[in-house]
Structure 1
């Protein structure tokens, strides 16, 4: 049985490098350039992991040997059993993260493929509220705020890719309940697309921690 070791954002790195390498193979004829790009693609993938066994490293570095679109797709398909899904969570656990929201509408968790989730989020259209649940160390952090569509494309704070954006504003109590400020950022309207694009959870995690203290 395959032991999962690839998180969603790392798989996105692999897909990005596979796409870049395929495009280079189609457009560049210089063999020296191609060999350099092959080497860098494998190196960029390995660098996305803090730890890899020798077997895992060899498995990922196979990308540098492929020539055809079929080989790249087969490579990605064969890595899917090694995807480490988002930690298990129940509707009750989610509700406990938002104790002030008595009428919280939790998404249908059974409809979500958690292999491709770095952060869980959904929008309550009736209240224009965005809810985010992020696994941090051995716990979950819940963040909610007002979401306002901008009807413009730009770079999302979380995935750093150009998508349709919304302004996400979170009220954050600091020293006392009477001293409240708001932190706003531009994020993807489409959380599924964002999860499929994010290659480094650093900015997302920094934001989550900054508004949850």
Structure 2
């Protein structure tokens, strides 16, 4: 049985490296350049993991030996059984993360493929609110805020890809302040959160935003 060890953002990084290497193979003929790109792709992938067994490392490094489009497709497909899904969560657990929302609209968990999820999110169209649930250090963190489409493309804070954006604004309470002393923090994020999950390769900006919003 395959032991999962690849998280969604790591799989996205692997796909990104595979796409770049495949494009390079199609456009570059210099053998030394190709070998450098092959080595770089394998190195970037391995370095995205804090620890790997020797078998896992060898499996990932196979990217440096690929040539054809079918090779890359087979490589990525072979990694799918090793995807580590988003931690199991129940509707009751989600409701506890947002106790002030008595009529909280819940996402359809049965229709969600948790293998390709870095953060769980959904929009309540009636209130124009975006809800995000993120697993951090063995527990779930929930944040909510107003989401406003801007009808322009730009770079998303979470996935750093050029996409259709919306402005996500979250209420925060500065440390050592009165309950009434609220401020707001916001940033531009993907309007399509599922697509964002399919593109995110670095957890840093996402975690920084979520932790800042929950201080």
TM-score range, shorter chain: over 0.9
Deviations 1:9-48 (A, max 9, x none): 0000000000000000000000000000000000000011
Q: CA deviation at 1:177?
A: 1.2
Cα displacement (A) at 1:189: 0.5
Match of 1:186 among 185, 188, 192: 188
CA–CA separation in structure 2 for the residues paired with 1:65 and 1:138: 37
> Is 1:120 aligned to 2:120, yes or no?
yes
After superposition, residues 123-138 of structure 1 pair within 5 angstroms as 123-138=123-138
**TM-score of the two chains, using structure 2 as the length reference:** 0.98
Per-residue CA deviations over 1:59-114 (Å, capped at 9, x if unaligned) read: 00000001100000000000000000000000000000000000001011010000
**Partner residue, 1:50:** 50
**What TM-score does the superposition give when structure 1 sets the normalisation length?**
0.99
- Structure 1 residue 176: deviation in Å? 1.9
Task: Name the CA distance, whole Å, in 2 between partners of 1:187 and 1:146.
Answer: 12
Give the structure 2 partner of residue 86 of structure 1: 86
> For 1:142-186, what per-residue CA distance to the aligned partner results, in whole angstroms no more than 9, with x for missing partners?
000000000000000001111100000001122221110000100
Count of matched residue positions in the alignment of Structure 1 and Structure 2:
213
Structure 1 unmatched runs, 5+: none
The residue that corresponds to 1:207 in the other structure is: 209
Q: C-alpha root-mean-square deviation of aligned residues, in Å?
A: 0.5
| Secondary structure of 2:212 counterpart | helix
Please state if 1:18 is matched with 2:18.
yes
The 2-side partners of 1:140 and 1:176 are apart by 26
For 1:82 and 1:176, how far apart are their aligned partners in 2?
Answer: 47
1:169 correspondence with 2:151: no
**C-alpha separation between the residues in 2 aligned to 1:103 and 1:210?**
26
**Structure 1 CA distance for aligned equivalents of residues 214 and 99 of structure 2:** 14
- Structure 1 residue aligned with 2:32: 32
C-alpha distance in structure 1 between counterparts of 2:173 and 2:204, whole Å: 23
1:125 positional shift: 0.3
Structure 2: segments with no counterpart, 5+ residues: none
Cα distance between partner residues in 1 of 2:82 and 2:178? 45
Q: Secondary structure at the match of 2:169?
A: strand
